[in-house]
Amino acid sequence: MAEYALRMSNIVKTYGGVPVLKEVDFAVRPGEVHALVGENGAGKTTLMNILGGVVQMDSGEVEVLGEPLSHLSPGIMQEKGVAFIHQELNVVNDLTVYENLFLGRELRARIGTVDVKAMCREAEQVFSRMQVDVDPKALVGSLETSTKQIVEIARSLLLNAKIIIMDEPTTSLSQNEIDQVFRLMTNLARRHGVSIIFISHKLGEVVQFCDHYTVLRNGEKVAEGPLRPEDGAQVDQADIARMMVGQDVLSVEVYVPRELGETVLEASGIQINNHVRDVSFFLRKGEVLGITGLLGDGKEHLVRGLFGDLPIDEGSIILNGRPCQPRHPAQGKGAGLGFLPSNRKENAIIKDLSIQSNITIVSLEDCCTTGHVLSGKREHGMADRARQDFSIKFTDFDNAVTSLSGGNQQKVVLSKWLSMSPSVLLLSNPTQGVDVGAKNEIYAQIMKLAEQGVGIVITSGEAKEIIKICDRALVMYHGSVRGELDRDELTEENIMILSTGGELGKNDRSTAVCNPHS
């Protein structure tokens, strides 16, 4: 057996004169779980698309299982045992598991009808090889996301995949599901010699589960090495993060202590369906208030209600000293609220509009010289201010917004609110799907806005994020506020206790209350 399952050497790729990959080397051993990390735009996806045969390289060599390949195409790569599992799952929800597994190459019985029995038998065999328990006749739509992913992996194994590429497989999974998928991946690698290339932003998982890492930065390979202590690993999570961005990011301090102004927003007794129960809070000028809690504990509904996207059943909101009860986002905006929804692709990006139009959409009326007729100059000016303030990187304002990296897209949908000078910004998961470097830029932006006196509400499920930038945080549990933490009380531990329904003592030994032995 060849020493390397995959060897890519001196890969060069340019797009319209811009180099995306500069003589990149990348090698994976048989039976290895290999993490390919890098910021958005570092070239990971391009490299993998070359391997998958989707994108043609300008120059370079690719060897699969010791065999040099002169021409790459999706068909050839599939034949050679390279499988690509994309971030967006590629399964048909309305079909059963076995139908998905054999989609397009159904097994036939002698008379030409589909052979359900044979397909189910083979499906069961592959699942037992993977040591998972999935019913081949279950409807895929009824499965958990992680199980759908397992179905995709099973499909690639049925195609005799020797190398499986997984692009950000864990973004939509819960912690339990992540563990399950990783156990499966490790098992496949160890027992069956399958090589797995794992593309991810989540460095915690990378360090915990992978055998080897390769870091790309700006189209160049900057580092690679083992991750297992028994292989002589010498890096930790912070090291890899540093290599990705070229500077020490995890320890970058973004919080700026500052004077907080008078109350700008006051909500009392907010009730939204069963999701939000009797929530009251206030927000001062220039304050960053975090709202955290576990998934589904009402923080999303709360901010959507405040902005007017969901009807509030009971309670009152006072904004800038005036009662405000928005029943439509347009009214929320009119009252001086800005809102960054979570789930950018679905709720924030207007895919057919240009970068510029996505920025100016919020305050188009201000781009007019007469009536409702747009002035190209004013519109460009507004967009350009946003670009400078947020250092959004792109080549042309008229390009499609979807051509931007995730981090830059997020900056676009955040920066669009600045043109209306909001008094309060509601940010829902502001760094969702954004890489480490861009995350810090967004944090710094949020701090800058706070310093300018904008009141900011941030919802996030990531305790680290809340601790990093918030002056104060509310922890929600089952729709109501379980506790409020000031900056000096903000610890991962305290947040975890409150968000799982525990209580904090008022003294320093806060954990003692929950400790059954005390």
Exactly one of 133, 398, 492, 503 binds other proteins (CB under 8 A); that residue is 398
Short-list 273, 264, 366, CA closest to 324: 264
Regarding 325 and contact with other proteins (CB under 8 A), the answer is: no
185 phi and psi angles, rounded to 5 deg: -60, -45
Cα torsion angle, 425, 429, 434, 440, sign: positive
Regarding 502 and contact with other proteins (CB under 8 A), the answer is: no
Sole residue written with tokens 């509400």:
457
Regarding 109 and contact with other proteins (CB under 8 A), the answer is: no
Q: How far is CA 241 from CA 170, 200, 235, 270, 437, in A?
A: 18, 12, 10, 40, 9
Binding segment toward other proteins, per CB under 8 A, in 130-138, 157-165, 369-377, 477-485: 369-377
Binding segment toward other proteins, per CB under 8 A, in 43-51, 311-319, 389-397, 487-495: 389-397
Rank residues 432 and 494 by Cβ distance to other proteins and give the closer one: 432
Question: Could you tell me if 270 and 302 are in contact, meaning their C-beta atoms sit under 8 angstroms apart?
Answer: yes
Binding segment toward other proteins, per CB under 8 A, in 135-143, 224-232, 365-373, 461-469: 365-373
Exactly one of 169, 219, 293, 341 binds other proteins (CB under 8 A); that residue is 341
Regarding 189 and contact with other proteins (CB under 8 A), the answer is: no
Rank residues 86 and 277 by Cβ distance to other proteins and give the closer one: 86
Regarding 157 and contact with other proteins (CB under 8 A), the answer is: no
Rank residues 325 and 357 by Cβ distance to other proteins and give the closer one: 357
Total residues belonging to the chain? 518
Rank residues 233 and 364 by Cβ distance to other proteins and give the closer one: 364
Question: Could you tell me if 421 and 332 are in contact, meaning their C-beta atoms sit under 8 angstroms apart?
Answer: no
Exactly one of 372, 488, 516, 518 binds other proteins (CB under 8 A); that residue is 372
Dist CA 8 CA 198 (whole Å): 16
For the bound state, the minimum distance from the C-beta of residue 400 to other proteins, rounded and expressed in Å, comes to 11
Binding segment toward other proteins, per CB under 8 A, in 76-84, 286-294, 346-354, 488-496: 346-354
Sole residue written with tokens 């069956």:
192
Residues 404-433 interacting with other proteins (rule: CB under 8 A) = 416
Binding segment toward other proteins, per CB under 8 A, in 6-14, 76-84, 258-266, 362-370: 362-370
Binding segment toward other proteins, per CB under 8 A, in 164-172, 288-296, 371-379, 431-439: 371-379
Please name the residues in contact with 465: beta carbons below 8 A apart, sequence gap of 6 or more. 290, 431, 458
Cα torsion angle, 241, 243, 244, 248, sign: positive
Sole residue written with tokens 């819960």:
174
For the bound state, the minimum distance from the C-beta of residue 396 to other proteins, rounded and expressed in Å, comes to 5
Regarding 309 and contact with other proteins (CB under 8 A), the answer is: yes
For the bound state, the minimum distance from the C-beta of residue 419 to other proteins, rounded and expressed in Å, comes to 11
For the bound state, the minimum distance from the C-beta of residue 54 to other proteins, rounded and expressed in Å, comes to 13
* Helix 175-192 with 145-158: angle, nearest 10 deg: 20
Q: Kindly state the number of chain residues that form the binding site for other proteins, as judged by CB under 8 A.
A: 33
For the bound state, the minimum distance from the C-beta of residue 70 to other proteins, rounded and expressed in Å, comes to 24
Rank residues 310 and 470 by Cβ distance to other proteins and give the closer one: 310
Strand order in the sheet with 322-323: 276-284, 263-272, 314-319, 322-323
Regarding 305 and contact with other proteins (CB under 8 A), the answer is: no
Exactly one of 117, 192, 327, 328 binds other proteins (CB under 8 A); that residue is 328
Rank residues 167 and 309 by Cβ distance to other proteins and give the closer one: 309
Which two structure tokens, joined as six digits, stand for 445?
């932006």
Which two structure tokens, joined as six digits, stand for 210?
């992978």
Exactly one of 218, 271, 357, 511 binds other proteins (CB under 8 A); that residue is 357
Strand 314-319 and strand 322-323: pairing?
A: antiparallel
Which helix (H) or strand (E) segment holds residue 212: the answer is strand 212-217
Regarding 390 and contact with other proteins (CB under 8 A), the answer is: no
What does R_g of the chain's alpha carbons equal in angstroms? 25
Rank residues 396 and 503 by Cβ distance to other proteins and give the closer one: 396
Dist CA 472 CA 469 (whole Å): 9
Buried b (16+ CB within 10 A) or exposed e, 346-365: eebbeeeebbbbbbbebbee
Regarding 349 and contact with other proteins (CB under 8 A), the answer is: yes
Exactly one of 230, 346, 488, 508 binds other proteins (CB under 8 A); that residue is 346
Regarding 281 and contact with other proteins (CB under 8 A), the answer is: no
Rank residues 183 and 378 by Cβ distance to other proteins and give the closer one: 378
Q: How far is CA 247 from CA 103, 193, 213, 221, in A?
A: 46, 36, 18, 16
Which residues of the chain form contacts with other proteins (CB under 8 A)?
307, 309, 328-330, 332-334, 339, 341, 346-353, 357, 361-362, 364-365, 367-368, 372-374, 395-398, 416
